[in-house]
Structure 1
Amino acid sequence: MDCLHCKPTFLHSVHLLAIFAEASNCKEVHGWNATLLYAALYISALGDGCMRACMPSLGADQFDHEDPSESHQQSSFFNWYTFGISFGGFIGLILIVWLQNDKGWDIGFGVCSILILLGLLVFALVLPFYRNQIPEGSPLTRILQVLVVAFRKRSLELPEKLEEAQERSAEPDFIEVLPETNSLKFLDKAGINRGKDGAWSLCGTTKVEETKIVLRVLPLFISSMIGYVSNPILFTFTVQQGGITNTRLGKIRVPPAVLFIIPTIFQMVMLPIYDQFLVPFLRKRTGYASGITHLQRVGIGFASIILASVIAAVVERKRKEAAVQMSLFWLTPQFFLLGVSDVTSFPGLLEFFNSEAPRGMKSIAAALFWGVLGLSSLLATFLVQIVNRVTRHGRRGGWLEAASLNNSRLDLFYWVVAVVGLLAFLNYLYWAKRYVYRHDPRIVTNQLSVNQDSL
């Protein structure tokens, strides 16, 4: 699946601890084979990280956010970008999994390699037609310079006409001209001219404002990271539940992993409908170019994750109390809600970070988004360990340390996950309500309507 840039929550779910490990006939890998395996995994992770950090930024660069006719197309791009990821995940779940199970892992990996090569060739053929933004130095270095210079000048008082002092900076603001804002004023001290030039002694307005933008989105980054903790947990344990349910559909035995197809198909159906019908409908009523704001869209996704956790807890309780084996398809509602989350919060967060980032920090914006997903999986692992440690009493293991799910307290753990998600959601609402967008999307919509009327 990974070869097709599959949906990240699927990939992240396999990184959680194998709580209920079963015996396996696989032979242990030693020596050169183990070295080759781990090298391949690390190289794959490196390539995947580079691609994910750059692809959204490259796609967004093809649209000029200052051009009203292209601004709303950028929002549409992120919906179709998410659709492409879902389509790749669907192919991986159907074709690649079948090849690996029936033809062998070598055939499956071989097909993945061929698909990657074909994708690289197609990308190389159309590369000359792309708008390619030339990088202008390291954005992380610029942020560090502002923080260091502002700290060194922390005892100084801000002059009344700081703009004049900044205009004498020896460093030109060549990335993107950003106006001075009144937030995080302590960083403005980095622009106080004390007679010394150089990037580590004096910072221009644009560099300071870039740093402010990154710091302003950090609370939303952290709250989103916590809000996504439920996703890898639900994906992982729901499949574990599916293994001990009735998986028959008539005379056909359905593998539990088929549940992954539910949110994937839902995304593939809903994303075009959302982009082509729902967004234009909402745009006429709200005045926003994307129908609703990015943070509103993300909030809908986080609310659906909480509801999925609650349903998962109730279903697991009923499963353990049922006199007969519960059908696998009782687990579909929570997967459906996870699909709702990925239609809303996934492209919403991606577009939010990208649209708020200045021109010289688009790659950081994409990295922040993928960082939310990656760190949420890591936090999910910690949450499992913490719950097991807290609920462990003497010889009695923790809630998730039983020999099978039937002897575990997965239902109670789901309630813990729901509470964590609710607290994260309330924290998210606090910061989202106070966040001020760099560009008001309603202005873009009004300009677009004027331009369309003049044609």
Structure 2
Amino acid sequence: MRACMPPLGADQFDHEDPSESRQQSSFFNWYTFGISFGGFVGLILIVWLENNKGWDIGFGVCALLILLGLLVVTAGLPLYRNHVPEGSPLTRILQVLVVAFKNRKLQLPEKLEETQEESITEQGSPEVPDKACINAGKDGPWSVCSAKKVEETKAVLPIFISSLIGYMSNPLLFTFTVQQGGMTNTRLGKIHVSPATLFIIPSAFQMALLPVYDRFLVPLLRRRTGYASGVTHLQRIGAGFAAVILASAIAAVVERKRKADPGQMSLFWLAPQFFLLGVSDVTSFPGLLEFFSSEAPRGMKSIASALFWCELGFSSWLATLLVQVVNRVTRRGHRGGWLEGGTLNTSRLDLFYWVVAAVGLLGFVNYLYWASRYKYRHDPRVVVEPSADQDSA
């Protein structure tokens, strides 16, 4: 469902129409807002129902809400633009990778037009995928690929791979920031904030920032830069990765202060890193969704959105691997690793945050390298209609 909803929404807008192009960018902002709002309601309403009325009531309300969402989606069926994909995009990607591997020792001709009728649009990625176009004397989709297939693969994979490390810091920061919150003074006036509901804070920041970004910041940036989304997709993603690096550094400083006075530090001290996590989700989250959906060829839009969710999963797996590696490296005899203490007070989360910041910085530099070489399939600038004077000239 998560893989299909973004491309379905994006299909309702025409890239060639300037006004619809701007509306598509706005759609991804409000789609992300909807995810944040749903999580916000769940953390308040559903958690309260399950704790006070019973899990059966909580699950029952969830089922009713899902049914309501299904009815709303169904009501719009007569109005949707439905672009049916042809063939399997995964098969096309595998064919390019397999053929490129077979031809890895072959030399590219000076002009790729000599091997294909169509020329390949340079995407700024390595020349290895281009070798899938070399005809080694055998026919068939697993022996030689068209330029279109190569373009489809090159449009998605480099940014997907380079974004993995950049997004790896997010699950770590979310998880450990909530644990930090549970070790602070969680009273906000007369209200006691349960650790289970601490995710409300980044969700609230996201919900507050998204309308401001969409309604005020994007129009301002659009007038200055000429881009339909205010900035390019890759610039927006990069801003989110930079925010996470800054959040990691701030979290390290705050954690060191918290350990110096356990249990006394106010939850408000976590507000800066929660805020920066919200900034990251306002920028990189919808930015990656929009990038994969808008830049992927029509036949790959659904699988491109699925790649985004796969990226989140792979990043979480890499984050778990980083925790294990750090614990193993920092383990000394009977002393556990930095994150193997009984509580955060006996762990070295502050030092681990610096490691996360360093890894995030390396991933950010790698991302900048690929992003700077990428060539957009669709012009991200606003199409300006010519005036009558220009037409007559």
Establish whether TM, by shorter chain, passes 0.5. Answer: yes
Q: 2:93 aligns with which of 135, 138, 143?
A: 143
2:221 to 282, 287, 290: 282
Matches within 5 A, 1:266-305: 266-305=205-244
Q: Equivalent residue for 2:160? A: 221
Alpha-carbon offset, residue 204 of structure 1: 3.0
Following the alignment from structure 1 to structure 2, what is the Cα–Cα distance between the partners of residues 308 and 159? 47
Provide the rounded CA distance (Å) in 2 between the counterparts of 1:243 and 1:160: 62
Q: Work out the CA distance in 1 between the residues paired with 2:76 and 2:246.
A: 43
Instruction: Report the counterpart of residue 59 of structure 1 in structure 2.
Output: 9
Aligned to 1:322: 261
CA distance in 2, matches of 1:432, 1:206: 21
CA contact (8 A) 1:263 1:340 kept: no
Instruction: Work out whether residues 256 and 328 of structure 1, in 8 Å CA contact, stay in contact via their aligned partners in 2.
Output: no
Q: How big is the shift at 1:439? A: 2.1
**In 2, Cα distance between equivalents of 1:324 and 1:146:** 56
Deviates more, 1:145-154 or 1:350-359: 145-154
Tell me if structure 1 keeps the 8 A contact 2:221–2:231.
yes
Equivalent in the alignment of 2:201: 262
Does structure 2 retain, via aligned residues, the 8 Å contact 1:214–1:357?
yes
Alpha-carbon distance in 2 for matches of 1:64, 1:376: 32
- How many residue pairs end up in the alignment? 388
1:97 to 29, 47, 53: 47
Aligned ranges 1:15-414 → 2 under 5 Å: 51-152=1-102, 166=116, 180-182=120-122, 187-188=129-130, 190-191=132-133, 198-215=140-157, 218=158, 220-322=159-261, 325-414=264-353
Provide the rounded CA distance (Å) in 2 between the counterparts of 1:446 and 1:256.
48
Per-residue deviation at 1:267? 1.6
Deviation at 1:448, TM superposition (A): 5.1
What value does the CA root-mean-square deviation take over the aligned residues? 2.6
Distance 2:127 2:53 in 1: 62
| SS of aligned partner of 2:141 | coil
How many Å apart are 1:339 and its aligned residue?
0.5
Which residue of structure 1 aligns with residue 370 of structure 2? 431
Q: Give how far 1:205 is off.
A: 3.0
- Measured in 1, the distance between the counterparts of 2:369 and 2:134 equals 33
CA distance in 1, matches of 2:183, 2:103: 63
Structure 1 gaps of 5+ residues are 1-50, 168-177
Q: Normalising by structure 1, what TM-score?
A: 0.78
Preserved CA contact (<8 Å) 2:113 2:119: no
Question: Kindly tell me: are residues 208 and 100 of structure 1, through their superposed partners in 2, closer, same or farther at Cα, counting changes over 3 Å?
Answer: same
Deviations 1:122-180 (A, max 9, x none): 2122122211111211011112223334455567676788658645xxxxxxxxxx863
1:362–1:395: structure 2 CA closer, same or farther, 3 Å change rule? same
TM-aligned CA deviation for residue 208 of structure 1: 2.9
Distance 2:270 2:111 in 1: 63
CA shift at 1:96, angstroms? 0.8
For residue 439 of structure 1, give the secondary structure of its aligned residue in structure 2: coil
Aligned partner letter, 1:263? P
Counterpart of 1:211, as a letter, is T
TM-score (norm 2): 0.90
Residues 448 and 272 of structure 1, relative CA distance in 2, 3 Å threshold: farther
Q: Which moved more, 1:154-163 or 1:319-328?
A: 154-163
AA of the residue aligned to 2:121: T
Residues in 1 aligned to 2:341 and 2:377: alpha-carbon distance in whole angstroms = 50
String of CA shifts for 1:57-81, please: whole Å, max 9, x gaps.
Answer: 1111111112223212111111111
| Paired residue secondary structure (2:2) | helix
Which residue in the other structure is 1:175 paired with? none
Q: Quick one: structure 1 residues 414 and 201, their matched pair in 2 at CA, closer, same or farther if it must change by over 3 Å?
A: closer
Task: Give the structure 1 partner of residue 383 of structure 2.
Answer: 446
Identity %: 76
Distance 1:323 1:124 in 2: 52
CA contact (8 A) 2:112 2:120 kept: no
Secondary structure of residue in 1 paired with 2:384: helix
The aligned amino acid for 1:110 is G
Q: 2:356 aligns with which of 394, 417, 423?
A: 417
The answer (yes or no) to whether the contact 1:260–1:335 under 8 Å persists in 2 is no
| Contact 1:166/1:204 (8 A) holds in 2 | yes
Gaps of 5+ in 2: none
Deviations along 1:70-96, whole A, 9 cap, x unmatched?
212111111111111111111111111
Question: For residues 429 and 274 of structure 1, what CA distance do their matches in structure 2 show?
Answer: 23
C-alpha contact 2:85 2:298 (8 A) present in aligned 1: no
Distance 1:450 1:58, change over 3 A: farther
Q: 1:448 to 1:414 in 2, by over 3 A?
A: farther
Q: Is the 8 A contact 1:187 1:208 kept in 2?
A: yes
Partner letter of residue 97 of structure 2? L
SS at 1:53's partner residue?
coil
Distance 1:151 1:250 in 2: 63
Work out the CA distance in 2 between the residues paired with 1:106 and 1:309: 39
Alpha carbons of structure 1 residues 449 and 335: separation in structure 2 relative to 1, 3 Å: farther
User: In 1, are the aligned partners of 2:9 and 2:27 still within 8 Å (CA)?
Assistant: yes
Are the equivalent residues in 2 in contact too, given 1:259–1:335 (CA < 8 A)? no
